[in-house]
Structure 1
Amino acid sequence: MNTFHYKGRTNRGDAIEGRLEASSADAVATQLFNSGITPIDITEAKTTKSTSINLNDLFGAGVKLDDLVLFSRQMYTLMKSGVPIIRSITSLAESTRNQTLAKALRHVVEDLESGRELSNALSRHPDIFANLYVSIIQVGENTGRLDEAFQQIAQYQELEKDTRDRIKTAMRYPMVVILAIVGAVAVINLFVIPAFAKVYAKFDAELPWATKFLIATSNFTVTYWPYILAGLILAGVGLNMYLKTENGRYKWHKYKLRIPVVGSIINRSLLARFARSFAMATRAGVPLIQTMTVVSRAADNDYLAERILQMRNGVERGDTLTRTAAATGMFTPLVLQMMAVGEETGAIDDLLQEVAEYYEREVDYDLKNLSSAIEPILIVAIGIMVFILALGVFLPMWDLAAAARGGR
């Protein structure tokens, strides 16, 4: 946005001047008229370019779910209090600490001043406001219940944030253990085994196959560690680029649901998100076909999104929601039965809400027991590593000690 210097007069005829940020002089004039000021002269202010580097511009601060929850809650409060929407968003743009969100909100204000609807203005920032968010706001605009729309979105986002936080907390312990194992293996290969290899070389004795394997692995690591590190970095970058492609992202999202122990938890958390977002959109009055399209885009998993679109296509052909859901193979018989009852009674939103709560209870229980489920796997991995080290490092020492005692 550019900065404009304006001169004008108030309703009482008093002269006034100042500066405003806007996309154009017309936008400044509109703001002044809305404030009861008659503009006389509007000129673009000359600003000196700063040579300082803004880290946010280079790397992008990003908008977290916490920021969106706070924004939705504040908008609900302001809308319910009767504060005009432009004034509300302008105030939140000035008060938010996230500069990326503040910049987007200022653009939204400009669009509103130019005559756009709020849902249309939000849709121009898809990286921040998802399709589900925009659709619920659009329904709130059409029904005149914009405050309730923001309240529904805030509640949904708070539950989403709670689920994500619980998954991150549950995964923290096994990730720390795995990183510790990787670090220990690196230290042993680079420092410990070479020291033992020097001791074995002095005795010129025949070494067991396990010891030879460890020494060969250590020598390779010590000699080529710069290439190994570079290879790992290149592999990580290449994998990241592949996962950003449509095919790579789809395969990863499909494989992620099949990871032992963790995959079932991720699958049920995604289904809980699907059911809750479906129920929220249906309750807000979004048409069924549009709801399924919006929910598929909000699924955050391409594999699940494809199944939801298959359900939409079946419904478009005249099939029931329950039959199309059963054809995907994603839902349990209990959930399918609840969906069938919801279709028969016309309370599909309430039944899907119960489905979401059912999955969330299961996910919560599994997350609480995730550490105990992963611990045996980690213990076995550590035991195998210790066994190989004991076999390869200490067995030759026992043989050498026995040989030394026999020589006496």
Structure 2
Amino acid sequence: MTRRVPARDVVVFTRLFATMIGAGLPLVQSLNILGRQTEHRGFRRVIRGMVRDVESGETLSGAMGRHRRVFSELSVSMVAAGEAAGALDTILGRLADFLEQHGALARKVRAALIYPAMIFAVTVPAVAILLVFVIPTFESMFASAGVPLPAPTRLVIAASAVVQGYWWALLGAVPLPALAVRRALGTSRGRLFMDRLMLSVPILGGLLRRAAVSRFTRTLGTLVASGVSILQGLEVTARTAGNRVIHDAVMSSRAAIERGETIARPLEESGVFTPMVVRMVEVGEQTGALDEMLTRVADFYEQEVDTALEALIAMVEPAMIVVLGVVVGGMIVAMYLPIFEMITAV
């Protein structure tokens, strides 16, 4: 089985492939060159396999379709449309643009999560050290002195006793929420519930909604502009949406088109897409410029996601610092309260 190929390698491959095909190099020769210069061993084997398939009479899209761990369904569909239209270089260029934009958004989201993750990684060990090693020392000192303890101090000492006495149960309980969520995501109803829940979370839900709309419009716009039929484009977009709510809305639109209706109405009924998105899709349908309208919406929402991410980071950073200060500082103050009372009494 092929190891996971980094997304960046796939983007570079697609961009260089488009350049070579556009320059007039034969398909097999281009693949051979790309295979030789690819550093990732697994990806090199994939490209060599594609060369063998193409030389055996397989289409490029068919050869790519044999490696779904590397090439997404969207990529395969776009390449198939490019082959049918005789515009493979143009389609590969559009695909590279799409992958670069999608990768840039993913990197921004990951970057936004780094700081909270670092704060969490510092806070948990710090609290554990205080509860396991520092608090018991204070407890022994207070017990020998016979000092009456205020409520905050008793609470911290009780928490320390729980951690020391039941640390094995606490460690065992850590993966339970993750396992429960994973099991829920394994079912259709559970996935739908979780996706709806995530979209309804304050602040984060709005960001996820914008990102989902951006991905939907960018994907469908790219597919339609590449010559993929609207029905196939909607099906591919639904499967790559990454959100069950979006998936169901897109598939409802696909069913509506099969019945001779428009795309816009099911999107509006889903409650996920804003009136602006619905109206622009509707105008695109009426004017025959659906791909252009979808691209404009995608550009707008990508900017919205950037703005929302910056605002979220600006809000999360001080909030995490405050939480860290309250938790760690509160524990320290609670343990020093009896000492202050002893000094005051003297």
User: Fold match, TM over 0.5?
Assistant: yes
Match for residue 13 of structure 1?
none
Within a 5 Å distance, the mapping from 1:291-302 to structure 2 comes to 291-302=233-244
SS in 2 for 1:320: coil
Match for residue 116 of structure 2?
174
Match for residue 81 of structure 1?
23
Structure having the higher strand fraction is 1
CA distance in 1 between counterparts of 2:328 and 2:24 reads: 67
Equivalent residues of 2:126, 2:328 under 8 A apart: no
Change (3 A) 1:227 1:265: same
Does 2:165 correspond to 1:235? no
CA distance in 1 between counterparts of 2:13 and 2:219 reads: 19
Q: What's the offset of the Cα at 1:250?
A: 4.3
Match for residue 317 of structure 1?
259
Change (3 A) 1:266 1:112: same
Equivalent residues of 1:335, 1:355 under 8 A apart: yes
Change (3 A) 1:378 1:189: same
- The one-letter code of the counterpart of 2:49 is H
Structure having the higher helix fraction is 2
Structure 1 residue runs of 5 or longer lacking an equivalent are 1-56
SS in 2 for 1:62: coil
Equivalent residues of 1:65, 1:161 under 8 A apart: yes
Q: What's the offset of the Cα at 1:285?
A: 1.3
Does 2:275 correspond to 1:333? yes
Q: What's the offset of the Cα at 1:301?
A: 2.5
Match for residue 153 of structure 1?
95
Match for residue 145 of structure 2?
203
Match for residue 190 of structure 1?
132
Deviations 1:199-239 (A, max 9, x none): 1111123322322221121122123324432442x437735
Equivalent residues of 2:281, 2:293 under 8 A apart: yes
Q: Mean Cα displacement is larger for which, 200-209 or 320-329?
A: 200-209
Equivalent residues of 1:93, 1:105 under 8 A apart: yes
- The one-letter code of the counterpart of 1:330 is V
Deviations 1:91-136 (A, max 9, x none): 2222211122222222222222222111111112112111110110
- The one-letter code of the counterpart of 1:78 is M
Within a 5 Å distance, the mapping from 1:206-221 to structure 2 comes to 206-221=148-163
SS in 2 for 1:257: helix
CA distance in 2 between counterparts of 1:136 and 1:303 reads: 24
Match for residue 10 of structure 2?
68
CA distance in 2 between counterparts of 1:237 and 1:344 reads: 46
Q: Mean Cα displacement is larger for which, 256-265 or 357-366?
A: 256-265
Q: What's the offset of the Cα at 1:386?
A: 5.0
Change (3 A) 1:346 1:273: same
Change (3 A) 1:370 1:305: same
SS in 1 for 2:166: helix
CA distance in 1 between counterparts of 2:277 and 2:342 reads: 66
Match for residue 310 of structure 2?
368
Match for residue 285 of structure 2?
343
Q: What's the offset of the Cα at 1:170?
A: 2.2
Q: Mean Cα displacement is larger for which, 307-316 or 222-231?
A: 222-231
Match for residue 52 of structure 2?
110
Q: Mean Cα displacement is larger for which, 100-109 or 148-157?
A: 100-109
CA distance in 1 between counterparts of 2:201 and 2:70 reads: 29
> RMSD of the alignment, in Å?
2.2
CA distance in 2 between counterparts of 1:184 and 1:243 reads: 32
Equivalent residues of 2:81, 2:226 under 8 A apart: yes
Change (3 A) 1:239 1:67: farther
Q: Mean Cα displacement is larger for which, 242-251 or 135-144?
A: 242-251
CA distance in 1 between counterparts of 2:246 and 2:40 reads: 31
Deviations 1:243-291 (A, max 9, x none): 6624454444433333332232122112111101111111111111111
Q: What's the offset of the Cα at 1:368?
A: 2.0
- The one-letter code of the counterpart of 1:245 is G
Higher relative contact order (CA 8 A, sep 6+): 2
- The one-letter code of the counterpart of 1:370 is L
**Which one has a bigger Cα radius of gyration?**
1
Change (3 A) 1:303 1:280: same
CA distance in 2 between counterparts of 1:357 and 1:318 reads: 29
SS in 2 for 1:369: helix
- The one-letter code of the counterpart of 2:300 is Y
Equivalent residues of 1:242, 1:249 under 8 A apart: no
Match for residue 186 of structure 2?
245
Equivalent residues of 1:261, 1:374 under 8 A apart: no
Q: What's the offset of the Cα at 1:198?
A: 1.3
Change (3 A) 1:243 1:146: farther
CA distance in 2 between counterparts of 1:146 and 1:292 reads: 21
Percent of paired sites with the same residue: 32
CA distance in 2 between counterparts of 1:115 and 1:294 reads: 26
Q: Alignment length, in residue pairs?
A: 345
Q: What's the offset of the Cα at 1:391?
A: 5.5
Q: Mean Cα displacement is larger for which, 81-90 or 257-266?
A: 257-266
Q: What's the offset of the Cα at 1:166?
A: 1.5
TM-score (norm 2): 0.92
Match for residue 394 of structure 1?
336
Equivalent residues of 1:269, 1:360 under 8 A apart: yes
Within a 5 Å distance, the mapping from 1:15-54 to structure 2 comes to none
Match for residue 44 of structure 1?
none
TM-score (norm 1): 0.78
Match for residue 26 of structure 1?
none
